[in-house]
Amino acid sequence: MTHTPGSNPGGATGTNPLWGGRFTTGASSLLEEINSSVHFDFRLAEQDVAGSIAHARMLVDQGVISVDEGQAIVNGLKIIAAEIAAGDLVLDRALEDVHMNIEARLHDLIGPVAGRLHTGRSRNDQVAVDTKLWVRDAIDRLDSLLADTIRVLAERAETHCADVMPGFTHLQCAQPVTVGHHLLAYGEMFLRDRDRLLDARRRLNESPLGAAALAGTSYPINPDQTAAELGFNGVFRNSLDAVSDRDFILDYVGAGATLSIHMSRLAEEIVIWSTPQFGFVTLPEDLSAGSSIMPQKRNPDAAELVRAKAGRVIGSLITLLTVLKALPLAYSRDMQEDKEALFDAADTLELCVRTTKAMLTGIVLHTKKTRADAEIGNATATDLADWLVAERGVPFRESHGIVGRVVKALEAEGRELRHADPEQLATLEPRFAGLPADVLIVDHAVARRTSPGGTAPIRVSEAAATLRKLNEQLSIKEPAK
């Protein structure tokens, strides 16, 4: 689609065809500039044509317009749909928005009968239905991308179900876990993100078409017919709410903001892990960038940008909340400002999910390094305390103190538990006599954690299969009509 500027950029334009009867002069160039939304709401063009076709067919079936008029309108709209698909529709800023541009183009194609299309309809319910259709499509695109990303996570988790890595709290060494277990934590986050998106989709799937400006219409319309044709599961129950509701945008962008935080957390870990100091992963070259001055650099730019772009999505949510705050019923032109934030959030989310999937697919995990680092920081201290509880009957709080003192004593010697053997520990605490050596081995510590949701390889393998199954089962479920 191409755009043309307004007709008289230096002064007042001709009277607007929507309200020319009320005004004797046209809008100033300043009003035209601030009023125009066609430079961004052109993205609703496909949905606008679909809604208009459904409306025209309903008007025919209800006897509001003739069969010939309806056929001419539908045929003209199909031509416009083809022009939209080919990128050939020319849009004029002086006509304010995409809706008036399409109506003007329809008039060019079929003449005055085009004016019959808007019978029983307002731009208020027209914009609302177009935006709902667009958001529904955006949810479906994002959900599909996210489902693919979860499949990659489940596959990689299964592959690395037994590879040990350090588990952290406070970014300090805590207990050993497996790489697969760590990856599955993000799989669970993304699965919840899908659930939030599909819940938002279910809630938005009521058609506002037929609410007209705010009070309904005196024409004998059939909103159920247009709702069914457009794939909605139901129809609005209050016309004021139908034209003023933008909760569905907040739901989508709100769910997207949570998703963006999850992607940002994963991206942050990839940034850290890819440093030489950690050395856990290497990003593929095609997702990395160099330096203009330092020839050795291989920077994780893709991960850094996913991390940063969470701010854009969160910013879009704040913009939307602020625009909608304190708006009286029903429609105010403020609502025009919802589109740019919506579109930017949608574009950003889809780009980031595609990038996240590519990183998860192409990343090389250095499992020898992760295992070596899992031994650092006295990572088996909890297992040592648990052994005293299980084998020597020591209350856990007492065993916690015993192991803490042992760690402190080793630290004074510049050593950790990984440097000690059972005999040496027994000299520090007699109750460690008879301690099996494998209690101090990280693989043993991981294998012991077989509790539900635990990091034992057998549990990680099961969890990966469960995640894969839940991901496949999670789909659009409409309530029965």
Q: Which residues contact 206 (CB under 8 A, 6 or more apart)?
A: 227, 232, 233, 234, 235, 236
Is residue 160 annotated as a catalytic residue, yes or no?
no
Hey, what are 408's tokens? Answer: 């402190």
Please report, for residues 3, 166, 177, 423, the alpha-carbon distance to residue 450 in angstroms, rounded to integers and kept in the order given.
62, 17, 12, 28
Helix axis angle for 338-362 and 247-273, nearest 10°, is 30
Catalytic hit among 170, 218, 292, 451: 170
Rounded Cα distance between 280 and 365, Å, is: 6
Q: How far apart are the first and last CA of the chain?
A: 38
Rounded Cα distance between 42 and 89, Å, is: 10
Count of positions (residues) in the chain: 481
DSSP 2: E
Hey, what are 428's tokens? Answer: 């520090």
Is residue 291 annotated as a catalytic residue, yes or no?
yes
* Pair 25, 13: CB distance under 8 Å: no
Q: How is 15-43 classified by DSSP, letter by letter?
A: PPTTTTTT-SS---HHHHHHH--HHHHGG
Give the closest residue to 94 by CA, choosing from 144, 23, 35: 35
Catalytic hit among 39, 66, 144, 291: 291
Hey, what are 223's tokens? Answer: 């909103």
- Tokens 């939307």 found at: 320
Annotated active-site positions, please?
A: 170, 291
